[in-house]
Structure 1
Amino acid sequence: MGNRLSKIYTRTGDDGSTGLADGNRIAKNARRVEAMGTADELNCHIGVLVEHLNDEAEIATAMGRIQHHLFDLGGEFAIPGSNVINEQHIQWLEETLDQFNADLPPLKNFILPGGTPAAAQCHLARAVCRRAERVVVALGQEDSINPDSRHYLNRLSDLLFVVARVLARRNGGEEVLWEQHRSTI
């Protein structure tokens, strides 16, 4: 690891810019910074999810691994041209997703966020993951990015959806199903 911060404030960002890991400075509202920030926000939501998991060691372990991946992903965005996330990360997500999805019944309705606090938090993380994916797609339209990063976020949102379903159904809980007639006035 490079230099550690001994002083948290530097005043270098007071002009609306921030430093990338390669030493370049860019505007704080640049898409690259938005991608870094959204990956960080997603990581925070997954951290909250982990704190809601009671006796869910398998899910907590998977989420902890994902948090490390997301930290690496943010680092990848902080170093333009860097490739940290790769096909092995995506393969692990797909295998983990298949494992959690194996015992779930097929979907017959849309599902609303809820069921349990952990399931609702997982849905929130999924929604932030989808936003992160949109930000990365936009970044890729203006700058070179690692396509595996975009693929990773796409698979991660799928995994978070499946885990939310698992969490809603555990311990006698139920998924909250969308009912079309309830949305009419």
Structure 2
Amino acid sequence: MVRIYTKTGDKGQTRIIGKQVVDKDNVRVNAYGSVDELNSWVGYADSQLTEKTVELHAELQEIQQLLFDAGTDLATPADDPKHDFIFDAKSTKWLEGKIDHYTEVAPPVQKFILPGGSQVASALHVARTITRRAEREVVTLQGTAEINKDVLVFINRLSDYFFAVARYANVLEGTEDVLYRNSRPVFR
């Protein structure tokens, strides 16, 4: 039997790729931990899909795969001789195509919208905010260690994706976005 516990964490430490032991509040652990949290939330959002939004299933699962790759790269010190970065710019290009499509099919918006709408859209808006936090933590990591820059670009674009796909989920569900009442026109 393989045990999933190592007891390293009993002292507030964890082992990263390359076998280096670091504190659990290390900036690297925070960065890939937030990406892992996001991955879990995307799985939750996927589980909430309805008959009207089920078309999003395959791409949400693809995003989970890509987030696992991104987390692996964030957990890998750049100087580790046994591991190469696996994440590349193709994934960001794929996301940009999705963002453009969903922006095109959703009603034009000139003002800020409140996160919400349908249950699926609401879950996707939560994914957007988790993505923004993960991005901040990846930027912090970038200030202390060399990272795969393609991961940061992808995470930045991913929050835009979740905004666009949340709006599209509302379109599919027949739910209107709610405009922030004090917003001036910001999108032109």
Please report the TM-score for the alignment, with normalisation by the length of structure 2: 0.89
Residues 21-70 of structure 1 show CA distances to partners (whole Å, capped at 9, x for unaligned) of: 21111111001000111001000111111011112233111110000000
| Residue 62 in structure 1 maps to residue 59 in structure 2 | yes
Name the % identity. 38
| Residue 177 in structure 1 maps to residue 179 in structure 2 | yes
Distance in 2 of aligned mates of 1:103 and 1:61: 19
**Deviation for aligned residue 1:172:** 2.0
| Residue 6 in structure 1 maps to residue 8 in structure 2 | no
Task: Structure 2 unaligned segments of length 5 or more: list them.
Answer: 79-83, 184-188
Aligned equivalent of 1:73: 70
| Residue 48 in structure 1 maps to residue 48 in structure 2 | no
Distance in 2 of aligned mates of 1:143 and 1:80: 8
Query: After the TM superposition, which parts of structure 1 deviate over 3 Å for at least 4 consecutive aligned residues?
Result: none
Aligned equivalent of 2:12: 16
Instruction: Answer yes or no: is the 8 Å Cα contact 1:85–1:152 preserved in 2.
Output: no
Query: What is the DSSP-based 3-state SS (H/G/I as helix, E as strand, rest coil) of the residue aligned with 1:8?
Result: coil
**Deviation for aligned residue 1:8:** 1.8
Q: 2:133 corresponds to which letter in structure 1?
A: R
Distance in 1 of aligned mates of 2:67 and 2:125: 17
Aligned equivalent of 1:162: 164
Q: 2:148 corresponds to which letter in structure 1?
A: N
Aligned-residue CA RMSD (Å): 1.4
Please report the TM-score for the alignment, with normalisation by the length of structure 1: 0.91
| Residue 34 in structure 1 maps to residue 36 in structure 2 | no
Aligned equivalent of 1:119: 121
Instruction: Answer yes or no: is the 8 Å Cα contact 2:118–2:173 preserved in 1.
Output: no
Query: What is the DSSP-based 3-state SS (H/G/I as helix, E as strand, rest coil) of the residue aligned with 1:26?
Result: strand
Instruction: Answer yes or no: is the 8 Å Cα contact 2:88–2:151 preserved in 1.
Output: yes
Distance in 2 of aligned mates of 1:26 and 1:172: 48
Instruction: Answer yes or no: is the 8 Å Cα contact 1:49–1:122 preserved in 2.
Output: yes
Distance in 2 of aligned mates of 1:106 and 1:84: 37
User: Within 5 Å, which residues of 2 pair with 1:88-107?
Assistant: 88-107=90-109
Task: Structure 1 unaligned segments of length 5 or more: list them.
Answer: none
